[in-house]
Structure 1
């Protein structure tokens, strides 16, 4: 019975269209609200950094000055490092939350798919 519930959640994750919904579905069964809040705080700041990063990239495309480009590249690298750190933190939190190998592998696959599709700048894949 319990395995069937896990399988149905995995199916819902596959059908979910956004990264955030996929994370929410993975955390659905968790009853430890405080840990859930921590994960979503990190997820929210992750999204903010992604938006900031996009703005920097669009700004960079409009500017040709070499010094400014170097500064923007440094900012992008810094944001990338923060995004990666926060992602690793989220994976760790989800690991503690679920303590379930199948769910963790699914979550890691979601992260990998998300990064492969969305974080690609000038041919550099993080």
Structure 2
């Protein structure tokens, strides 16, 4: 029985030692940021957001008429980017009331655009 305990100890001890050393190194190297201060996302200038909307809207028009390879994927990616910029504009202009949840349909996207235009954004 004693040999079995020695064998298990010989097998488990090196693994436990390596795990403890790994945790110690991660603790030592980890950045020392306070846990109580959440990092706020960087806000973007409304003029930059407006120009991004203009550029993405023009790109969507080109992609809708395009016959290029992977057109559907490019159209989807550009639409999602456009939606992200629309949402950033809503945040920048503090227009959060009545916004539909993400994965907008075409009608919901038009409603968000109209809401932004009512708030004074032009693109």
So what's the TM-score if we normalise by structure 2? 0.42
Which structure has more helix as a fraction of its residues? Answer: 1
Structure showing greater radius of gyration is 2
So what's the TM-score if we normalise by structure 1? 0.41
